[in-house]
Amino acid sequence: MKNKKINRRIFFQRLGVGVGSTYLLQNCMSNMNHGTSDPVPVASDATFKNILKIPETLSNPTTFIAQSVQDTIMDGKTVKYLGYRNGLLGPTIRMQKGSTFNAKLTNQLAEHTNIHWHGLVIPADMDGHPDQMVMANESFNYRFTLNQQAGTNWYHPHVHGTTAKQVTQGLSGLFIVETPEEKALNLPSGTFEIPLVIQDKRFNTDGTIKYSPTMMEVMSGYLGDNILVNGTASPYLNVSTRFYRFRILNGSTARIYNLALSNGAEFYIIGSDGGILEKPETVKETLLGSGERLDILIDFSNIAINTEVFLESKTFSGMGTAQGTQAFKILKFIVNKQESNTFKLPASLIPLPNLSGSNKKRSFSLTMTMNMSGGMHRINNKVFSSQRIDETVNLGSTETWEFDNSTGDEPHPMHIHGVQFQVLSRIGGRNTLFPHEKGWKDTVLVAPKEKVQVIMKFEQKGKFVFHCHNLEHEDDGMMLNFEVK
């Protein structure tokens, strides 16, 4: 606390004297970063005593009501958060490719909101662009047909300036698309397929959620000191000695997790943001940035009964000085039931089409400036304006976009609406592609010093946005419009 105050003072003092000087600006940013340490206290094993909540699953939801809800997160206190139905977070939507989603969002909040269907390739007027607001006491009908591969998508508000606050307060949920091709893989399902929405939050003493980032936290990200899974603090899940499938969403505004198992065991990545991989990828840890998803299998079959294993986040480096400094536990698995495992890890999953024939390249510089008027985080030195179309794309074209963070010192998970892309290359920084980046993606983590190239085909007409999914950066204006026509 004390450090933060001192550094904030240094920040404003330097800002006053140093505008325009690269040296002073760098110095200033470095000071701020040093003062912004990761605030998560490491929880002890004994505190993981709350049974993991599983959001209700709906195959044909017709009603979403953005509203104040009662739920219990901390210490058994029932308090008010935001939600779409009952309690914090919305339902998990599970629908088949080819089926039509048709649901009414009614806004019972005192402010405007909307829903962005993150990862779904749907018409622009249904996408939840920040232009498309549902005002207080009004409603809007979202109707679209699912025409994409099986994958773990999600939904959340996209209100420019208050996206982070509304998501933090409880408005988000998973949207799973299924196909016969995926069904045929016979992956663990039913009670053996568990959604995990991981979020970090801060709380007021009355148990309500606090969201009040300082200027420094707009830069480094607003990191919560409690890690929740599906809106459950210190959660545990009883498991049997067999394979499980976990569909993981990093639904945090800014926090990056380095997911691993506490017993050091390998796990198997079978899918990424918007699709299933070509084959399972065996890893011991993997980074997951805000907005990214991970579809994994964990094999508990060789673990002795009554053993506890944690899903945890290990330390990491290279993602700015505020992130990755602490290891902490996320979810406790208690292996408590013997079961003969019949599942065999498949050698191959779903082929990934080759997106070749890219006919245009665009490059986007990701930068931070001390210019307070209009936002500090920028793409091609621009701050979001609803009035301006920044890029025009031909319908049906395949393009390569490069996100250039080579001069930056903050990580940016970059998200493009209206498409699923494939990651082509990463130059500088970590200088490689990672196992979970081998499939369909809509959000890619661009670390400091990196240039990341993605390729995609534009098949939906209209006005979309692309932006940083660090929601503090996004609300600060790190977002541009593109129009497909």
By the rule CB under 5 A, 443 interacts with Cu ion: no
E strand map for 49-182: 50-51, 57-58, 63-72, 78-83, 92-96, 100-107, 116-118, 139-145, 151-156, 173-178
DSSP 326: -
By the rule CB under 5 A, 465 interacts with Cu ion: no
Taking the least distance from each CB to Cu ion, the nearer of 61 and 221 is 221
By the rule CB under 5 A, 468 interacts with Cu ion: yes
- Of the ranges 106-114, 250-258, 407-415, 447-455, which one interacts with Cu ion (CB under 5 A)? 407-415
Which amino acid is it at 54? I
Taking the least distance from each CB to Cu ion, the nearer of 120 and 447 is 447
Residue 305's CB: how many other CB atoms inside 10 A?
A: 11
By the rule CB under 5 A, 415 interacts with Cu ion: no
How many chain residues bind Cu ion (CB under 5 A)? 4
- Of the ranges 104-112, 260-268, 346-354, 406-414, which one interacts with Cu ion (CB under 5 A)? 406-414
Location of structure tokens 């944690």: 310
In the complex, least distance from residue 473 CB atom to Cu ion, rounded to whole angstroms = 3
In the complex, least distance from residue 407 CB atom to Cu ion, rounded to whole angstroms = 14
By the rule CB under 5 A, 473 interacts with Cu ion: yes
By the rule CB under 5 A, 412 interacts with Cu ion: yes
Torsion of CA 262, 267, 272, 275, to 10 degrees: -150
How far apart (Å, rounded) are the C-alpha atoms in residues 466 and 481?
7
Residues contacting 5, CB < 8 A, separation 6+: none
Taking the least distance from each CB to Cu ion, the nearer of 156 and 412 is 412
Residues contacting 322, CB < 8 A, separation 6+: 33, 36, 37, 38, 220, 221, 223
Taking the least distance from each CB to Cu ion, the nearer of 436 and 467 is 467
How far apart (Å, rounded) are the C-alpha atoms in residues 390 and 400?
16
Enumerate helices (H) and strands (E) in the chain, giving the number of each: 6, 33
Taking the least distance from each CB to Cu ion, the nearer of 419 and 468 is 468
By the rule CB under 5 A, 470 interacts with Cu ion: yes
In the complex, least distance from residue 3 CB atom to Cu ion, rounded to whole angstroms = 23
How far apart (Å, rounded) are the C-alpha atoms in residues 32 and 287?
24
Residue 119 is encoded by which pair of tokens?
């990862």
In the complex, least distance from residue 256 CB atom to Cu ion, rounded to whole angstroms = 11
By the rule CB under 5 A, 446 interacts with Cu ion: no
By the rule CB under 5 A, 368 interacts with Cu ion: no
In the complex, least distance from residue 38 CB atom to Cu ion, rounded to whole angstroms = 17
- Of the ranges 11-19, 311-319, 326-334, 473-481, which one interacts with Cu ion (CB under 5 A)? 473-481
- Of the ranges 99-107, 347-355, 380-388, 409-417, which one interacts with Cu ion (CB under 5 A)? 409-417
Q: From 386, 383, 387, 390, select the one nearest 363 (Cα to Cα).
A: 390
In the complex, least distance from residue 238 CB atom to Cu ion, rounded to whole angstroms = 38
Residues that bind Cu ion (CB under 5 A): 412, 468, 470, 473
